Structure 1
Amino acid sequence: MARQQHVMNFNILKELFAGFIRTRGIGRHFRRLVLLDSLTRTDVSREVPPALSQTLIAAALCDPDELLNRLNSSLHGLSEVQADKARERFGPNEVDQEKPLPWWRHLWHCYKTPFDLLLTLLATISYVTDDMKATLVIGSMVVLSVMIRFWQESKSNRAADKLKAMVSNTATVIRHDLAEDAQEDARRYFDVQIHPKAPSKLEVAIKLLVPGDIVVLSAGDMIPADSRVLSAKDLFVSQAAMTGESLPVEKFAAQKSSDTANPLELENILFMGTNVVSGSATAVVVATGNRTYFGALAQRVTSTDRAPTQFQAGVNKVAWLLIRFMFVMTPLVLFINGFTKGDWTEAFLFAMSIAVGLTPEMLPMIVTSTLAKGAVILSRQKVIVKRLDAIQNFGAMDVLCTDKTGTLTQDKIFLAHHTDVWGMESDDVLESAYLNSYYQTGLKNLLDVAVLEHAEVHQELNPALNFRKVDEIPFDFNRRRMSVVVAEHEAHHMLICKGAVEEVLDACSRVRHGEVDELLTPELLARVRAVTAGLNADGLRVVAVASKELPPTHETYGVADESELTLIGYVAFLDPPKESTAPALKALAAHGVSVKVLTGDNELVTAKICREVGLEADRVLLGSEIERMCDTELSRAVDTLSVFAKLTPAHKERVVRLLKANGHVVGFMGDGINDAPALRTADIGISVDTAVDIAKEAADIILLEKSLMVLEEGVIEGRKTFANMLKYIKMTASSNFGNVFSVLIASAFIPFLPMLPMHLLVQNLLYDISQIAIPFDNVDEELVKDPQRWNPGDIGRFMLFFGPVSSVFDITTYLVMWFVFGANTAEQQTLFQSGWFIEGLMTQTLVVHMIRTQKIPFIQSRPGAALLMTTSLIMALGVFIPMGPFAHYFKLQALPLIYFPILITILLAYMVLTQQMKRYYTRRFGWQ
């Protein structure tokens, strides 16, 4: 009885201590924050701070147990409570180089354009000269222009942020229950055994990581934060983003040299933003967010202006074309009016009004809203636009490079055959392949998944009971094979190698023939290649399987052990073409996009699939041939050939680079680790939501469905977006040139100003409002058939060709007002100005419909409902201003009714002449 009471008391005491230690564990967590703050706190400046380098070097040289203790972490990781508390202290694991501007800075950026500053100057001059009406009108124009741009860009940024949020990257993190801290202390201090829950591996959003987290890394993973390697197996990391090194760097658990001063040379530190090429590792997070090396570099980069993209450079060239035109024409207007009228102040104001009328002040708003609309439409078609400018490149693309598996073919791989060396079905080969796929910890591809779907093999082998994994030799893209070493009942070790046929054969010296292993002679090698070629010719993906028995004397194996293997057979996979592939390729070809297949796969399988989907594959260029070709030879080959096989990542990048050098706008679609260099090199990188992290980060556009048909829809939308932007530029350029030409003529021969500065500003404001709906306009089918690019030279020619057309009818209006209505004296200038105000606004608004299409407007090509509504409203308002009760506020007057039949005749003649000029221009130069 006493013994039972003693046990009961001890259990109560144990629970009390466990509760106390749980509390102590939480308190220890707060002490951890202080220690961690001293370890990772750095004040990031425009340069990488010395404190950050010292922190990383200290973490590299520190003993792993001591480092984990300083971070108050362990190999079991942090608990959710600890992670939450640390996140409150250190913030999210994000580098805020893309942090949105505060609203007031965004508003200032919308305002501080040369055009709005010029308008503000005019408003100030009007206020000083007591012209309050002009001040009100000009000020309203500034406010309206800035607010429209601010509202539209804010809306666009929110839409883009929502689209980006749909693409999330995660990291594999080890987390444990907070009570484990108490359990550890209970064992240490009271010798009380409490059975803990096993730590679990969780997929956690990268932004949620905190210092002290234990991350598990494998091939294809992006390094989520600056981390110290705790254990590694053949770990190779690409640090090109940091150092520019083209080759991956091997990382280890220990730092060999203790006198390293450069953090980038540390052998056991992983940097945020780099990626794992091959191998596996566990690492502890040392620094997150802006405290990382990448964060410091990013802040230095964002302190300087970003280089303009190709799209932005094209927009800027067009804008400066119009601005240079303004710098030439404005002084001419000033001097002509100054000398002919004698009133230099009025001439200056009028010249400033001309300058405002010539400035494409709505260009940023039109471009942004058009791109944003395109991005939202693409999102409904399962296309996520990470960078809005990429939409124009989408439309300009004329060459699409893509991989084969999952794009031309189905994502589902089927294990079709498992044969011995001579092509006969063999269960032994399937069992060996199963063990290899089951025990490998690297990036499991679709082939491994297809093997592991054979549940009957798992039941028969019972790996958990009959086998023990000894070691692993991970896959890399140079060897193109991987191996595992297993122990069966501890009797012996078996190395099982699986990979590309040629690469596995390079490691083999024998072949299995029934129960006998024979030397791999040249004759047998030829037979082996004939068997695999036959399988490839049937459209099967062949993976070779080899093995070797080893004495159970080692627990660690490396690449050198992949020698003297015995080839035991093959596993062959079927990846049939998608039913949608052939129609999608035809649709892309119809829109001027040629498709080229760049794959690391076997040339026979690739050629068969390509022929089935309608791609020319009589000549397949291999990676080995590319190695022997100079850039000049390869440059000719990439233009003429469509299929490239057995490529390395460097080969893919080189093909894309030379296609760009040949003048093509190149898109690259890929989802693997080996696609990242080509994705970055292409004009537009395209990936999918199931891609590895580094591929998604390198891409400009991400597809939620890996289908060329979805891509074809995106190309069309990109071209619609570009077509609508080009409409605005053509309208603005030709209309502005026509107005200025008309003003020059009127200024030279009329004894008064043909329009007051206020009239020009109001007219320009109304014209701009009429164009707000251009992003929502319909686009003719002919305009999306071919790739489209910026060409400022064509725009300049278009401006000079169509601008004078409106001037013909402006001059006609001058003559009508002068001779028909007698508005030929200074006393009658208000009547003259009212007549030209209406006619000028009408022709400017009609040019929107005339130039939006090469067809007959309203009949062969109908505008969008929004554009039709805004232009109709502005035309009605343009008539109402002089004819209504507020005419005197604008220094205008009502016109006699006989004016309007004459106006309609002038407008009809304008439309007829413009249409004829469009036909001539299209025949000679093409429309777009």
Structure 2
Amino acid sequence: MMRNLWEQLFSRFLKKFHLTRYFSKSASLKELHQSSHAQHIGKQLTEQLTHASSTPIARLLQEKQTQLSGLDESEVEIRQQRNGLNEIHTEKPLTWWQHLWYCYKNPFNILLTLLACISAYTGDPKGTLIISMMVILSTILRFWQESKSNKAADTLKSMVSNQAAVYRNNSGDKLAQYALEQLNSSAAHNIFDIPTKYLVSGDIIKLSAGDLIPADCRIIEAKDLFVSQAAMTGESMPVEKFAQHQSDNISNTMALDNIVFMGTSIVSGTATALVLNIGNKTYFGALAHRVTTQDQVATSFQVGVNRVSWLLIRFMMVMTPIVLFINGFTKGDWTEAALFALSIAVGLTPEMLPMIVTSTLAKGAVFLSRKKVIVKRLDAIQNFGAMDVLCTDKTGTLTQDKIILSKHLDVLGNTSAHVLLLAYLNSYYQTGLKNLLDLAILEHVDQDIKTERLHYSKLDEIPFDFDRRRMSVVVKTPQAQSQIITKGAVEEMLNICTHVEINNERTELTQALKQTILQNSQSYNKDGLRVIAIGYKNAPVTEQSIFSIQDENNLTLSGFLTFLDPPKDSSAKAIQALHNYGVEVKVLTGDNEFVTQKVCQDINLPHEHIVLGEEIDQMSDDEFKHAVEKHNIFAKLNPMHKERIVMQLKANNHVVGFLGDGINDAAALRSADIGISVDSAVDIAKESADLILLEKSLMVLEQGVIEGRRTFANILKYIKMTASSNFGNVFSVLVASAFIPFLPMLPIHLLIQNLIYDVSQTAVPFDNVDEEILQKPQRWEPESIGRFMIFFGPISSIFDIITFLLMWFVFKANTPEHQTLFQSGWFVVGLLTQTLIVHMIRTPKIPFIQSRASLPVMVMTVLAVSIGIFLPMGPLANYFQLQALPVTYFIYLPVILLAYMGLTQLMKTIYVKRYGWQ
């Protein structure tokens, strides 16, 4: 009951100072339910964009109170004052003092601060100084490391101030200044290049290939317009956009094909568009706002540290009063007993834990920085090691984010050089803006085909349009004929072809052959390939010099071109490496299932069954819980699907990483235990991530996992060493306090012993880790730490009691007058056994033989042992209320230490067989 009351009072304190998340015992499942309900773009925004898509342009211009010639400058200023600038307001960076507070507020720092205050109140300046230094060093080290990392991350902000070509009535000082600066003919036509942040709703803008779309817009006019929406949807292929909505599908906002969205980009073509929404009122802005305003979900590391903290804090709260009452009743000096109990509390608190954790994580961050990885949050290092599931986006992470020509085939599926030549001539000679498919063709050909092209000359071309979905060029062949070369969608090409080319011979295109060709094309689509067909028609040059759409008939189908977004060379190796280290990879993408399946097949991921976003929407909670465990590939997902999958995996007791770079990945990045992005990602993805890869090589993930596990192993070493050693000391104190008429060790002795031991542990972050420990994911298990503490702690107490008997009976230190000799004898044994336990517990193997500590650990061990012997034997003994020990003491000392090490090794063997070794 008292425990419950104390926790209620403590919880109120935490809430008051916003510390709840740092002490919470586990991640709340409420977060999962919140993420799976109504976390979608506002209904009002969806309805507004759907309305704009279906409304005639003339009426829409009236609604926006604008005109095709643009807005007056005075009206622009009014709208800017009313609606603000066209900027996305994302998460504000912490001020330096907020960041310093964030680095300070962890359970042990707060507890140690409380103990330091008590020490100061009870007149113990030395204890106050020692405890305060531990807190200050830990906080400053973390603050410095994270500040350096965040500063580096800020330099990666890729969304710079872009320009937009906007129609404005040429009035006002600001536009006059723009016109003078530009000094080009466009200004005379009321088109000005201005920073995108000055756009307002109602502006008319010009868009062309390479432009980032600066706002949500309705297309007024479009020519050959292809838009990349990969950052929003995850689909690798660009989509066609029109001036009029072409599809009946108006349920999916991103499928509105006469609306373009902020954050996407123009791949090819040109357009004139009406600005509908700016800034946070855009689709992009709504997603960014939802991601940055939701609370950061507690990670595996934070939850684990909190649980271990509660374990040690409760243990301290139980043992400290017991020590106080035993010494108070047996010695009669309650003031001395209170000081001693306070020293025990400090001794039981692993005051170096914050500093050891921070320095170990900082070492991992330095290691990763050499691998061109920026660590924004130090906690991510340990989460990297604990990760057992990595969810990754496909486009740009597993794939090269670049369309390539994969095959050039005749109608029978055989590789055809003739098909490639025709495709090259078509792409080379067209004068319109070349899209990604044309660029892939031009990059694919070798020098022989480039030389062959010199034998052809261009006569004419028939541009692409979306009605017929094809384009043609007309060339003069080496045989002095005119040749129409047409490429386009398979169905449209079949409609204008009457023959096919098989084995260099023209054959009539029958219905049966047409059906076979369509089936082959569909099979390529199912393999994740985009297919276009290519055909030709020859005619004498003298017959015609000008060609039109009517000439695209009676063609001979030559073959097909297939394109794909190929996986990176490192993807398959990285996934296999992660698998070898116990990390399961799951692909979460917005792209279609066929493309996704092909990529997963190429990188050796199981691809037999793919779960689609629409299937997830139909699943019950229980079905969804099992689906995320059973399946590894999820396609056609929206951002909320991705986040929900991550949250469910966490609820299933996994430590989850997420790798992504688009706005559609931001929510999942924020919800994961470790969010990983790249320097070319959108701003909101980089803000949500914990790690940023400066290079898109996935092999660094394996190195990050190994470094994370090495980091965690060294943190765990310190906790195990300190917890078991401190427990043994307290147990020894309880025995001594009950039977010895004086304090077995003075408070100052406990603090000095603690300080020397803790300083020696500063080398732990640089220790070696056994290879076997790095093979499996590692996570916090407070129960195993408690078991370890109780199992190994009493071993040191056995030899403490032997030391008590030695000092009492052999050296006659059995009266208050000789207590200094008794205390000096136990001080040396206690410090040396504490220091040696480092080597015994750092590995499940035999120390010094099967597993050796690193040089820094060895040096600090020798230094701690030397200081421990020097203090009672040197000139400072009186200052610290110690005295020199007899020479015969050092005959018994190695016997005690060797026996202690031997028994610990024996017990360690029993423990490993029974419980294993994390």
**Please, what TM-score do these two structures have when normalized by structure 1?**
0.68
Q: CA RMSD in A?
A: 6.0
Q: What is the CA distance between 1:683 and its match in structure 2?
A: 4.1
The code of the aligned residue for 1:779 comes to V
> Secondary structure of 1:772's partner?
helix
Other-structure match for 2:136? 146
Q: Which deviates more from structure 2 when the two are superposed, residues 451-460 or residues 137-146?
A: 451-460
User: What runs of 5+ residues in structure 2 fail to find an aligned partner?
Assistant: 1-61, 233-239, 245-257, 475-484, 536-555
- Hey, what's the Cα distance between the residues in 2 that align with 1:462 and 1:167? 47
Other-structure match for 2:114? 118
The code of the aligned residue for 1:139 comes to L
Q: 1:542 to 1:798 in 2, by over 3 A?
A: same
Q: 1:221 to 1:842 in 2, by over 3 A?
A: farther
Q: What is the CA distance between 1:658 and its match in structure 2?
A: 5.5
Matches within 5 A, 1:349-748: 349-402=339-392, 414-419=404-409, 423=413, 425-426=418-419, 439=433, 450=443, 513-514=499-500, 524-530=514-520, 533=523, 541-544=529-532, 570-573=560-563, 583-596=573-586, 600=591, 606=597, 610=601, 615=604, 617=606, 620-623=608-611, 627=615, 630=619, 639=629, 644=633, 647-649=636-638, 659-660=649-650, 662-671=652-661, 679=669, 682-691=672-681, 696=686, 699-748=689-738
Does residue 1:99 correspond to 2:94, yes or no? yes
Other-structure match for 1:69? 73
Q: What is the CA distance between 1:923 and its match in structure 2?
A: 0.9
Q: 1:314 to 1:916 in 2, by over 3 A?
A: same
Other-structure match for 2:302? 312
Determine which of 768, 787, 802 is the counterpart of 1:812. 802
Is contact 1:400-1:596 (8 Å) kept?
Answer: yes
What is the CA deviation profile of residues 610-666 of structure 1, one whole-angstrom value per residue up to 9, with x for unaligned ones? 37x6x365x611456983984656765654555x48654577667656655544334
Over the matched positions of the two proteins, sequence identity in percent amounts to 48
- Hey, what's the Cα distance between the residues in 1 that align with 2:243 and 2:772? 61
Other-structure match for 1:321? 311
Q: Which deviates more from structure 2 when the two are superposed, residues 341-350 or residues 279-288?
A: 279-288
Is contact 2:212-2:266 (8 Å) kept?
Answer: no
The code of the aligned residue for 2:376 comes to K
The code of the aligned residue for 2:111 comes to F
- Hey, what's the Cα distance between the residues in 1 that align with 2:824 and 2:303? 40
Q: Which deviates more from structure 2 when the two are superposed, residues 875-884 or residues 148-157?
A: 148-157
Other-structure match for 1:50? none
Aligned residues: 786
Q: What is the CA distance between 1:327 and its match in structure 2?
A: 0.8
Q: What is the CA distance between 1:609 and its match in structure 2?
A: 7.2
Q: What is the CA distance between 1:854 and its match in structure 2?
A: 1.3
Other-structure match for 1:476? none
Other-structure match for 1:556? none
Is contact 1:470-1:487 (8 Å) kept?
Answer: no
- Hey, what's the Cα distance between the residues in 2 that align with 1:91 and 1:669? 29
Q: What is the CA distance between 1:101 and its match in structure 2?
A: 1.6
Other-structure match for 1:48? none
**Please, what TM-score do these two structures have when normalized by structure 2?**
0.69
- Hey, what's the Cα distance between the residues in 2 that align with 1:676 and 1:436? 39
What is the CA deviation profile of residues 64-99 of structure 1, one whole-angstrom value per residue up to 9, with x for unaligned ones? 88867249899xxxxxxxxxxx9xx99998756223
User: What runs of 5+ residues in structure 1 fail to find an aligned partner?
Assistant: 1-58, 75-85, 128-133, 242-249, 255-267, 474-481, 489-493, 499-503, 548-565
- Hey, what's the Cα distance between the residues in 2 that align with 1:704 and 1:186? 39
Which one has more relative contact order, counting CA pairs under 8 Å at least 6 apart?
A: 2
Q: 1:798 to 1:700 in 2, by over 3 A?
A: same
Q: Which deviates more from structure 2 when the two are superposed, residues 426-435 or residues 355-364?
A: 426-435
Q: 1:505 to 1:847 in 2, by over 3 A?
A: farther
Q: What is the CA distance between 1:108 and its match in structure 2?
A: 9.5
Q: Which deviates more from structure 2 when the two are superposed, residues 895-904 or residues 682-691?
A: 682-691
The code of the aligned residue for 2:92 comes to Q
Q: What is the CA distance between 1:342 and its match in structure 2?
A: 0.9
Q: 1:484 to 1:787 in 2, by over 3 A?
A: farther
Is contact 1:669-1:685 (8 Å) kept?
Answer: yes
Determine which of 888, 891, 898 is the counterpart of 1:898. 888
Matches within 5 A, 1:170-189: 170=160, 172-174=162-164
- Hey, what's the Cα distance between the residues in 2 that align with 1:882 and 1:459? 94
Determine which of 836, 847, 850 is the counterpart of 1:857. 847
- Hey, what's the Cα distance between the residues in 2 that align with 1:819 and 1:767? 28
Q: What is the CA distance between 1:340 and its match in structure 2?
A: 0.8
Q: What is the CA distance between 1:521 and its match in structure 2?
A: 6.6
Q: What is the CA distance between 1:149 and its match in structure 2?
A: 3.1
- Hey, what's the Cα distance between the residues in 2 that align with 1:895 and 1:125? 34
Q: 1:61 to 1:91 in 2, by over 3 A?
A: closer
Q: What is the CA distance between 1:293 and its match in structure 2?
A: 12
> Secondary structure of 1:571's partner?
strand
- Hey, what's the Cα distance between the residues in 2 that align with 1:438 and 1:456? 23
Is contact 1:220-1:693 (8 Å) kept?
Answer: no
Does residue 1:776 correspond to 2:766, yes or no? yes
The code of the aligned residue for 1:310 comes to S
Q: What is the CA distance between 1:360 and its match in structure 2?
A: 2.6
Q: 1:596 to 1:313 in 2, by over 3 A?
A: closer
> Secondary structure of 1:713's partner?
helix
Other-structure match for 1:921? 911
Does residue 1:345 correspond to 2:322, yes or no? no
- Hey, what's the Cα distance between the residues in 1 that align with 2:408 and 2:451? 14
Is contact 1:430-1:571 (8 Å) kept?
Answer: no
What is the CA deviation profile of residues 381-404 of structure 1, one whole-angstrom value per residue up to 9, with x for unaligned ones? 233333332222221222334566
Q: 1:438 to 1:845 in 2, by over 3 A?
A: farther
Q: What is the CA distance between 1:315 and its match in structure 2?
A: 0.7
